[in-house]
Amino acid sequence: MQASLYKYSVISLASTLFGLIVIASIMTTAHSGPTRCGPCLQGTCVSNPDDCRYGHFHDSCGRIVCSKAPSASNMAGLERLMRRISRTARSLKGPDEKCGGLYDYFGRCGHGLVCRCNQCVGCSEDTMECSTINNPNC
């Protein structure tokens, strides 16, 4: 009786371990699957990084995207919403643009600028533009 109980618990443990390994491998494979890259929204991707005034970064699909998005005034509401959602925290902002927030949600300031009270102040080393507000009220 003792031997059959031992044999049953070894088989049970082995099958549980096998099940956990299968589940872990499925989750790893599903999580590391390819990123689905759709087409670029109007004005977000560029072919020449020199066209970006405040620098550039590579999105999750490896495309070059300017750090400062162009004006969204001429875009439809849905495109504007999609751009806002897809904007990354690594995007560099220009003078007087909104920055900071939890985990830099609103973005980081470009070279030569400092984020004070959620606003980029100072002068951009890239464009030599300066902020018009020197001491923003917090």
> What confidence tens digit (pLDDT) does each residue in 74-99 have?
445 556 555 555 554 456 888 999 98
**What's the mean per-residue pLDDT of the chain?**
72
Does the pTM exceed 0.85? no
**Is 132 a residue whose pLDDT tops 80?**
yes
| Residues 133 and 116: beta-carbon distance below 8 Å | no
| Residues 66 and 90: beta-carbon distance below 8 Å | no
3-state class of 8 per DSSP? helix
What b/e readout covers 35-73, taking b as 16+ CB neighbours within 10 angstroms?
A: eeeeeebeebeeeeeeebbbbbeebeeeebbbbbbeebe
> What confidence tens digit (pLDDT) does each residue in 51-77 have?
677 777 777 777 777 776 544 444 455
CA distances to 39, 102, 105 from 65, rounded to whole Å, are: 13, 23, 17
